[in-house]
């Protein structure tokens, strides 16, 4: 079933909450699109060419409770943030490694080395880490990097990380193994139960006195015996196949 939502076509899913949320989203999108068109037409009608004035008028148009001072503050803040970002991007592009360390060591590790922010420098947990973090007089960026991450420190971190990864992998493998074992245990237990149930039923059927049974009752009785005699070997075969043997060896190895 299809239902018209605004100017678009909407397919109901049968989930009320999902349908309602999607409908509200579509309504909001269509309303925003309509207001965008109205604003663009207003800009044309009023012949607004200045980009700053256009930004101010857009804020006023979409926020009727704002006055002009509030809209101008918004635009000023956007312009300030944009300028700061441009200045930072320009500085990151042109600063030397040493200038970057002096301003913010993390910038250097993040943008000028292959270390990034993980691991952290060797002095990070020292009480005087702020002093140690500072670049020494005439210390080059390469010297600073080696002081922050001595080879033996990096080796230790890499070994610890490798150990953690190996332990996590071993844990996942053991969890997967136990999951498979649980499935095999369940299968083996089901097969053993079925064998026991059918053997018990077969014994009861064979011991049952059928004297006085009609031909139909005798045939029905015999069909039950035949069924039990047929399925018991099948269940036993499945029990002694790879499922049972794998379970046996897996448990034996622990």
Distance CA 250, CA 231 (A): 27
Instruction: State the CB neighbour count (10 A cutoff) for residue 60.
Output: 18
Query: What is the per-residue pLDDT for 11?
Result: 60
Please compute the mean of the pLDDT values over residues 37-43 and round it to a whole number.
79
More confident residue, 245 or 3: 245
Q: Which residues pair with 38 in a beta bridge?
A: none
Q: Express each pLDDT in 118-172 by its tens digit.
A: 889 999 989 999 999 999 999 999 999 999 999 999 999 999 999 999 999 999 9
Please check the confidence at residue 4 and state whether its pLDDT lies above 50.
Answer: no
Question: Following DSSP, what letter does each residue of 134-166 receive, concatenated?
Answer: SPPTT--HHHHHHHHS-HHHHHHHHHHHHHHHH
Residue 24 in contact with residue 8, Cβ under 8 Å? Answer: no
Reported pTM: 0.49
Q: Express each pLDDT in 182-215 by its tens digit.
A: 888 888 888 889 999 999 999 999 999 988 899 9
| C-alpha closest to that of 23 among 5, 41, 39 | 5
Distance CA 57, CA 53 (A): 6
- Work out the pLDDT band at 24, boundaries 50, 70, 90: low
Distance of CA 10 to the CA centre of its chain: 30
| C-alpha closest to that of 54 among 69, 37, 66, 71 | 71
Please compute the mean of the pLDDT values over residues 8-32 and round it to a whole number.
62
Q: Express each pLDDT in 47-100 by its tens digit.
A: 878 888 888 888 888 788 889 999 999 999 999 999 999 999 999 999 999 999
Query: What is the per-residue pLDDT for 2?
Result: 38
Which range is least confidently modeled, 4-18, 21-35, 198-212, 228-242?
4-18
| C-alpha closest to that of 8 among 236, 22, 237 | 22
| C-alpha closest to that of 77 among 95, 58, 98, 56 | 56
Distance CA 80, CA 87 (A): 10
All structural domains of the chain with their residue ranges: 1-47, 97-149, 178-252
Distance CA 178, CA 98 (A): 54
Longest dimension (CA), the chain: 113
Summary mean pLDDT of the chain: 84
Phi, psi of 184 (to 5 degrees): -70, -40
Query: What is the per-residue pLDDT for 85?
Result: 94
């Amino acid at each position: 079933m299809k239902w018209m939502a605004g100017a678009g076509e909407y397919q109901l899913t049968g989930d009320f909450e999902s349908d309602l949320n999607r409908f509200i989203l579509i309504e909001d999108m269509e309303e925003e699109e309509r207001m965008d068109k109205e604003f663009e037409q207003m800009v044309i009608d009023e012949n607004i060419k200045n980009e700053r004035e256009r930004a101010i008028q857009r804020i006023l148009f979409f926020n009727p409770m704002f006055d002009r001072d509030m809209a101008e503050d918004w635009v000023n803040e956007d312009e300030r943030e944009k300028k700061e970002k441009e200045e930072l991007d320009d500085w990151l592009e042109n600063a030397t490694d040493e200038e970057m360390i002096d301003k913010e060591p993390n910038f250097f590790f993040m943008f000028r080395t292959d270390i990034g922010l993980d691991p952290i420098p060797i002095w990070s947990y020292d009480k005087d880490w702020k002093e140690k973090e500072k670049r020494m007089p005439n210390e080059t960026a390469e010297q600073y990097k080696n002081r922050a991450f001595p080879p033996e420190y990096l080796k230790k971190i890499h070994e610890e990380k490798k150990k953690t990864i190996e332990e996590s992998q071993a844990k996942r493998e053991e969890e997967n193994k136990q999951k498979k074992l649980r499935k095999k245990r369940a299968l083996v237990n089901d097969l053993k139960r079925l064998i026991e149930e059918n053997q018990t039923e077969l014994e009861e059927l064979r011991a049952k006195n059928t004297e006085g049974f009609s031909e139909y009752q005798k045939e029905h009785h015999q069909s039950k015996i035949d069924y039990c005699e047929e399925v018991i070997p099948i269940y036993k075969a499945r029990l002694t196949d790879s499922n049972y043997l794998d379970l046996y060896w897996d448990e034996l190895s622990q």
